[in-house]
Amino acid sequence: LYDLESGQSRPLVLDEAEIGTAAWVQALLTHAWSPDGNTIYYCRSKDGITHLWRVDVASGETEQITALEAYTHVAQVQVSTAGRVALSASSSTLPGRVLVWDPADDSVRVVARSSTEIVPSEQLARPERVSWDTSNHDRAHGLLYLPVAGRFESVGRPPLIVHVHGGPTGQATAKYMPNVQFFTTRGYAVLDLNYRGSCGFGRAFRNKLRGKWGLYDADDAVNGARHLAEQGLVDPDRMVIMGGSAGGYTVLQTLIRYPGAFKAGLCLYGVTNLFTLASDTHKFEQHYLDSMIGPLPEASALYSERSPIFSADEIRDRIAIFQGEEDRVVPVAQAESIVRALQKSGVAHEYHLYPGEGHGWRRSETIETFYSTVERFLRDYVLFS
């Protein structure tokens, strides 16, 4: 807080939690003032779970808004002139809602619901926070979703999908994740990975990825899967790694550096050549690799070492590549170069190119086709092979 009259400043909140967010897009609202200026409402994130809190400006006392604690992810907080607080909120079992909370009577009103709010909550998986040891005496984190759908039975442990977020300094959070629930409702366990370098765990944790992209993320994916297998929670012989964009890069790096650790990989519009990414990507991320790998031309040896295209002959496990034809962030040439390398080395693979799609799927027909293809791929090459 900065006092314009006195020129004094003081921190209002000192907490082992994230109270901002990475500004990957504009108009992210993480805090808002009450009309009388006595209170600030803010989004507090801890281990991927975000709740609404408030701080008293005069005393610095903080408290959670318990009326909203059932929601494990809140965002876009705004306050009306009447003092009512509007925000978006969801949980692992509740798709996004627009809520209004009234401090006067502690009431919560649902203003709008998602059209996807049709699956019974008891059919949906809830996350468990997990952590495990990494190299250099560090810890990595994740949200583990175990299958709960009653329409599936199995005599063994469930297969595992390790899901790697993008960014690369993004974050797996406990919001409603339809892609995760797609798998858990079909009998898969999902580890939503927060490797060293993910945001939401403090600046020091996020900065661990600097100079280590393609190393720490791959290490943490493998060690996280092995940790769950050692705990007896998943089947060690039916583990899959999946990710898009920077997460797709991690998929490729993991298959290269740890052949056999996963039975298969699913790579969505993944980075394959760091040199071309540095030169061809969009303006906002044009110099991202200066910190993740190193500046060019000084770090050219590292770019070669960490680019999957130059080590694709090390891949031994089955892999499916998915790409949007009009992707401007990771252009289609990135996917097709790795496909040519896989063809040359004779690795079992599939390549699916979606016309009219960019960096992620937008069309309903593409989304339906993609998930049907993934389900068939996993059935043929993971579950029953």
Phi, psi (deg, nearest 5) at residue 334:
-65, -45
Strand partners, 318: 264
- Give the active site residue among 51, 198, 327, 349: 327
- Give the active site residue among 245, 307, 317, 349: 245
Residue of 202, 136, 213 lying closest to 171 (CA atoms): 202
Contact 370, 336 (CB under 8 A): no
Q: Which two tokens stand for residue 82?
A: 């009447």
HSE-CB at 261 with a 13 A cutoff on CA atoms is 24
Number of H helices, E strands in the chain: 9, 16
Residues with Cβ within 8 Å of residue 18, at least 6 apart in sequence: 44, 45, 46, 199, 200, 201, 202
- Specify whether 31 is catalytic: no
State the Cα–Cα distance between residues 383 and 375, nearest whole angstrom. Answer: 10
- Specify whether 317 is catalytic: no
- Specify whether 219 is catalytic: no
Q: Helix %, strand %, coil % for the chain, to 5?
A: 30, 30, 45
| DSSP structure string for 244-288 | ETHHHHHHHHHHHHSTTSSSEEEEES----HHHHHHHS-GGGTTT
Q: Which amino acids are annotated catalytic? A: 245, 327, 359
